[in-house]
Amino acid sequence: MLKRHLWIIAVAASILGAVPVRAETVTVTIEKMMFSPARISARPGDTIEWINKDVLAHTATAMGDWEVIIPAGKSGSVVLKTATSVDYYCRFHPNMKGQISAPAH
Q: In the chain, where are the structural domains located?
A: 22-101
- What is the spatial distance between Cα 84 and Cα 93, in angstroms, rounded to a whole number? 24
Band (14; pLDDT cuts 50, 70, 90)? very low
* pLDDT one-digit tens code per residue, 66-91: 999 999 999 999 999 988 899 999 99
- Nearest in space to 29 (alpha carbons), one of 46, 47, 53: 53
- Could you please state the CATH topology (level 3) that the domain comprising 22-101 is classified under: Immunoglobulin-like (2.60.40)
What is the reported pLDDT for 7? 45
pLDDT in tens, 25-62: 999 999 999 999 999 999 999 999 999 999 999 999 99
Which residue type does 76 have? G
Gyration radius (Cα) of the chain, Å: 17
- Whether residue 28 contacts residue 64, with contact meaning beta carbons closer than 8 Å, is answered with no
Quote the mean pLDDT of the chain: 87
In the chain, the DSSP E strands lie at 25-31, 34-36, 39-41, 47-52, 58-62, 66-70, 75-79, 86-89, 97-101
